[in-house]
Amino acid sequence: MPHVRLPEFTMHYYEQGTGPEPIIFVHGFISTYSWWLPTLELLSQSDYHAYAVDLRACGESDQIDTGHTVAQQADDLHAFVEALGLERFTLVGHSLGGGISMHYALKHQDRLKALVLVDPLGPSGTTLTPENTAWVNAQQGNPEGVRLLVLGAFATPPTGAYLERLVDEGVRWDKPIYLGMMDDMAAVRIADQLGAISVSTLVTWGDKDTIIPFPAIVETFTSIPGCSLEVWHGVGHSGPIEIPERFTALLTRFMREAIAPKVSAG
């Protein structure tokens, strides 16, 4: 699989399709590009050119002990875009990846055709109690604890080899990125900046999501001008895996509408 050398590390990414419309997918906490595979399998390879990245120290990207902040991950994403020579594209982020994508949009929205935020990290950070934070932190590298965290991301979890893959990849999140991202996700405060985002934006959320509370979704939705919101009934934190056909259909329809030339009245 392809890699690209960035200033501080080598980033791995999964590439699929040869179409004219580029899309970049950004994964979440204790995740890798693998969380996008059900969606990628359904995208038209003749219409779209998809790139699903492994963030620094995740998956097959280089391990690196520093830079584990949402803002730095957004800078890494821009370095990736520049290295590949991508001019304008659609950006899709899940959970932590949604927070990274919002940071990216605040600095580089001129590069975006559309922005899709899937159960995104709230713009006022995580809302875990100290006790819950301590428990999550204690699961770093613990296969059974990480399994519980992965299963908690679904109302209807995947099974078999794919589930085991997600768990194994989560277990491999090393201590610097695991604890660093936990601390930084709690410190995010960008709600008052989101009004500057003018690119077409879609937020999706599953009403069985136990990770991102609905008030955090409402804060994102109401802070971004003209933002659209889709709520999935009976779906947990990870719609692209739980309902990939419905998610992919919504994604491609939203992209077509966002990219279509605007016809002015009169």
Q: By three-state DSSP, how is residue 91 classified?
A: strand
Q: By three-state DSSP, how is residue 28 classified?
A: coil
Q: Are the beta carbons of 30 and 150 closer than 8 angstroms?
A: yes
Q: By three-state DSSP, how is residue 26 classified?
A: strand
Binned at pLDDT 50, 70 and 90, residue 263 comes out as low
Q: What is the pLDDT of residues 112-153, one digit of tens each?
A: 999 999 999 999 999 899 999 999 999 999 999 999 999 999
Domain ranges of the chain: 3-257
- C-alpha 134 chain-centroid distance: 24
Q: What is the pLDDT of residues 10-40, one digit of tens each?
A: 999 999 999 999 999 999 999 999 999 999 9
Alpha-carbon distance of 106 to 113, in angstroms, equals 14
Share of the chain above pLDDT 90, in %: 96
Cα-based angle 65, 73, 83 (whole degrees, multiple of 5) = 105
| Distances in whole angstroms, Cα of residue 197 to Cα of each of 191, 210, 253 | 11, 27, 21
Alpha-carbon distance of 237 to 214, in angstroms, equals 11
Average pLDDT, the chain: 96
**Closest C-alpha among 203, 181, 54 to residue 120:** 203
Q: Residue 241 pLDDT > 90, yes or no?
A: yes
For 3-257, the fitting CATH number among 3.40.50.300, 3.40.50.12780, 1.10.3720.10, 3.40.50.1820 is: 3.40.50.1820
Q: Residue 80 pLDDT > 80, yes or no?
A: yes
Q: What is the pTM of this model?
A: 0.97
Binned at pLDDT 50, 70 and 90, residue 260 comes out as confident
